[in-house]
Structure 1
């Protein structure tokens, strides 16, 4: 149960056999995996790192009415969970792991909010336990008044995690991505220039452009220097990839688990594994790929004609200048303004049929297209419409 590498392989094998997994669920899961039907398996809560059999048995006992409060039934909230489960058999680390794995998602989808509320839930549980046989001066009705120890507090406010943060936290608890794939967050944009999924690779000697997430990363000493060996995974499939020492030295910060890379290289048969192997010759991260493959940033100008503060945005996110063997290299993306006038937007006595105009700014207006930069351009654009044009 606690061997996550083996569990990942079994999980992938089951998916290939078209078996489905019910996600971890605090109100349904048991310690071990259980079959629900011929095609569906219930995820075992004991497979989540930091839990253990004793803790899961205490959770099941509370659901069945064998906990400290003797209340049967599904948990209704994080606070209800902490109040009903035997405190001596479950700790903060266990609850945090269950939250990260998504076991509380049926009660609250904001995992960041739940994680920030664990201490508050324990405090509520302790207060409820201390006052279980007491009736306060102002709690003489059904116990739902503002001063009642049974009234649940609000969850601690926290911004929801994005896809990357959610999956990264999930991996720390489960050992792999369970509810999605890191490539999901960038797939829509990346597929506009790196169009071929790994599962559709061509058997050709021509270079191919691939993108994916780095997994199973390791660096070895080869006959010609260091060699990076890893899998490139784009959710459609994975391929064994390799990069030489020159690429390792040029892009050290990309050769790590869970990094997104866009790579040009050649695919050839791997005589050892019997599969395919991708030998990389060029690499980019997403920001550099936007400079390399993007044509311009298309920015919608607001209907009143007010353009974004270009000078300010260029000061915040200037193009990057690097020296290469060919001289100075400028990494940046051009900007194009688009002004659209919908039909009948002019004076009532001069009805129009609508019109649009596009203005390309000069090379001096190039900027470095980081995620933060694109977010700022969208904030200045009409209805947030600022999109990198790739073709």
Structure 2
């Protein structure tokens, strides 16, 4: 512990409490210049105050060096140990509650949220898209025979906090929304506009009460319906829509029949509005055709550099750069069901496969592992587009 370093410096090298605190900062902050100065002071101090040889003092100093990488004082370590035990207990005994809280705590970091959702999947805790009648502001625990977690309404891009507050206040006061017309009749027009309604539809929040494409293709009629019912309430008199009170509200809107949105469209919208795929993954369509020899990305990350690998994944993004020779190479972010990883495509390989290496494309990749900036990556040798 850091405490041991301090007491060693105090007792063997003649430090006092003021000077030993500078020693602590040098070790804790990893300041090279200050560490070099403290090294000299410590070795001389051990020789002067403890009659040590320079070799003995140097040997003790070498024991200190690992603390420059990672070291805590006893109180800090004890607190971390306590928190680690508490969180492990909660995860083991209240798994859904714990994971819901972790998702809410990390909701601003999409990459961390994706990793936590992968852990939820491993724990067999379903994480579902937001829902107009069950989601709260943050990630929401749905208690049932099998506990589930719902995305919160605050996680939806382009949906303002005022609109979320108004939706929840109305739902809490008057019960669930039973149809798209019912939602538009009950919500004030100042909180429903094209942007917010589109965000609710594309994210899957309204799936329980309306089909996504039907909402998107009837946007003008829906907004007019919302405004008309709001004006009718203000005038406290019947309107064209108010005269149809006895007719089911869904019929009074007369929404046209449309082709339902495809799985590909729904996933793309979820990525756009929620930041990641929730109801599925683009790789789902190819799951049965993925060779058993393919390694999961989460597993590849533990491989040593130089290991031969084959894997499949979705290209999340692709960035071209110029080499010193003026040739084009590419950096990919590849994602599967378990994790994501960087893949590097050198110029001679890029020439062969440039047409395939496009964002949102599912591919089969063969290559070998490498280490870059302390993280595992894949050096790509072969690429093939996955086909259904």
TM-score norm. by structure 1 comes to 0.59
Is the 1:4–1:175 Cα contact (8 Å) retained in structure 2?
no
TM superposition shift of 1:213: 0.6
Q: Do the aligned residues in 2 keep the contact of 1:124 with 1:152 (CA within 8 Å)?
A: no
Indicate which of 211, 215, 218 corresponds to 1:117. Answer: 218
Residue 143 of structure 1 contacts residue 151 of structure 1 at CA under 8 Å; is this kept in 2? no
Structure 1 pair 243–80 and aligned structure 2 pair: CA distance change class (3 A): same
Q: Deviations over 1:252-276 (max 9, x none)?
A: 34333212222232x224263353x
Equivalent position SS for 2:286: helix
Equivalent residue pairs, number: 273
Does the 8 Å CA contact 2:313/2:363 hold for their aligned counterparts? Answer: yes
Unpaired runs of 5+ residues, structure 2, are 1-103
Higher normalized strand content (fraction of residues): 1
How far apart, CA to CA, are the structure 2 residues paired with 1:138 and 1:228?
Answer: 57
With over 3 angstroms needed to count, the CA separation of the structure-2 counterparts of 1:6 and 1:165, relative to structure 1, is same
**Would the aligned equivalents of 2:136 and 2:152 in 1 still touch at CA under 8 Å?**
yes
| Separation in 2, partners of 1:98, 1:162 | 17
- Structure 1 residue 7: Cα displacement: 3.1
Q: Does the 8 Å contact 2:311/2:366 carry over to 1? A: yes
Choose which of 237, 246, 252 in structure 2 pairs with 1:144. Answer: 246
**Does structure 1 residue 156 correspond to structure 2 residue 256?**
yes
Flag the structure with larger Rg: 2
Deviations, residues 153-203 of structure 1 (Å, cap 9, x unaligned): 243322222222211111111111122111112223x32x57524256587
* Alpha-carbon distance between aligned partners in 1 of 2:250 and 2:314, rounded to the nearest angstrom: 47
Q: How does 1:258-277 map to 2 (within 5 A)?
A: 258-265=360-367, 267-270=368-371, 272-275=373-376, 277=377
Task: Please tell me whether the aligned partners of residues 365 and 384 of structure 2 are also in contact (alpha carbons under 8 angstroms).
Answer: yes
CA distance in 2, matches of 1:237, 1:26: 29
2:341 to 225, 234, 239: 239
In structure 1, the gaps of 5 or more residues are: 66-71, 288-370, 372-391
Cα distance in 1 between the residues matched to 2:375 and 2:182: 53
Please, what is the CA RMSD of the aligned residues? 3.6
Instruction: State the secondary structure of the residue aligned to 1:280.
Output: strand
How does 1:1-391 map onto structure 2 within 5 Å? 6-13=109-116, 15-16=118-119, 18=123, 20-35=126-141, 41-65=149-173, 72-108=174-210, 110-132=211-233, 133-135=236-238, 143-145=245-247, 152-188=252-288, 190-191=289-290, 195-199=293-297, 208-223=309-324, 225-265=327-367, 267-270=368-371, 272-275=373-376, 277-286=377-386
CA deviation string 1:294-345 (max 9, x = no partner): xxxxxxxxxxxxxxxxxxxxxxxxxxxxxxxxxxxxxxxxxxxxxxxxxxxx
Say whether the 8 Å CA contact 1:144–1:151 is kept in structure 2: no
Give me the TM-score of the superposition, normalised by structure 2.
Answer: 0.60
Contact 2:318 2:357 in 1 (8 A): yes
1:238 to partner: Cα distance: 3.3
